[in-house]
Structure 1
Amino acid sequence: MTLYAEKVYLLAYSFVKDKGLAEDIAQEVFIKCYRHLDKFRGDAEIKSWIYRIAVNTAKDFVRRKKYKILYFQKEALEHLIRSETLEDTYVERSENNQLLQKVLSLKPKYREVIILHYFHDLKITEISEALGVNSNTVKTRLKRGKLALSEMLKNEKEAF
C-alpha cells in the first residue's frame, strides 16, 4: 500500500476529479486488494493487478453514481509537475501546468492511457493488463491521445 497509495489516489482522482471521492476510491481499492489477495495468480505484476482494480473501481463509481466529471483544479495536481532544480522559472511551471490541464481535458479513454504511461511509467503490456484491453488498443489510444494533445497545442499557438 505504501508503494502505490499515491499513484492509486491520483488515478482515482483522474476519474472523479474530487479529492474526497478519490481518497474513498483509493481506500476501497486497497480493501479489495486485501480481501482478494488470495486470488492474485501472479500472471502479471502486482502493480498491474492493483491498477486494474483501481481503474475498475473508479469506473464503477462513475457509472454507479452517474458522476459528472469536473475539470481538475490546478492546485490538486501541482505536485505532479516535477521540477529538476529550484531555479525553474514561472514560465516553465506555467507551461507544464497548461500541458497537464490539456492531458486532463482529453476523453477518458485517452487520458487514462496517457496518465498510466507517462505519469505512472507503465509499459504498454502493463496498461493493457490494468485496463483489461488488448495491447494494440492501448497503442492506438496512446497514439490518438498524443495526436489530440498535439492538435490542442497547435490550435493554441495559432490563436496567439
Structure 2
Amino acid sequence: MLYTFEAGGEGELSVAEGREVTILEPDDGSGWIKVRAGYKEGVVPGTYLEIFAAPIVPQDTGSSQTRPGSTYSNSGSSVGTAAPAVKKKGPAVAPRRGAKMLKYVVALYDYTAQNETEHNMTEGERFVLIKDDPGDGWVEVEKGGSTRSVPASYIQVA
C-alpha cells in the first residue's frame, strides 16, 4: 500500500501504508480493487496500491535436500527499509463505489496551450476524458487535478 486507507463504507478494507496485500479481483473500471490483507478481504482504491508481479520461484523437483525459503517472516528487522521523513497522504478522494468507468485519451501530437483554459500536451501523454467534442473541435480533459480543453484532433481514445 502506498498510503494508509481507512474504510468508509461497506465492503471496504482498512489497510496501513506499506502493508503488502494480495489482489483478489482487479479494477473493473470503478477505481476499486478487491484485496486480502491477512485473513480480511475488502476493496481499496486502486490509486493507493503499487502493484508488483509475484516473483517466479523455481519448482522443487525433490532432488534437493535444502529447505525452501519461507514466504512469511517474523523478523522485526528494519534493515534496508528507511522510514519516510514525511508521512505520505493518499489521494484526497477515493473513487465512489459504482462510479462510471473513466475514459482515457492519449495525445497524438505535441500541443502548446494558447491560453489558461487549455492544457499543454506531449505526444503519448495520457489524460482522463471529461467531456467529448460537442462539435466545436475541442474536448475537455483532466490531468493533475486540472480540467482544461485540448484540440479533439490531437487525441485518441486509449
Larger relative CO (CA 8 A, sep 6+): 1 or 2? 1
Give the structure with higher Rg (CA).
2
TM range (shorter): under 0.3
Answer 1 or 2: which has greater strand percent: 2
Answer 1 or 2: which has greater helix percent: 1
TM-score (norm 2): 0.21
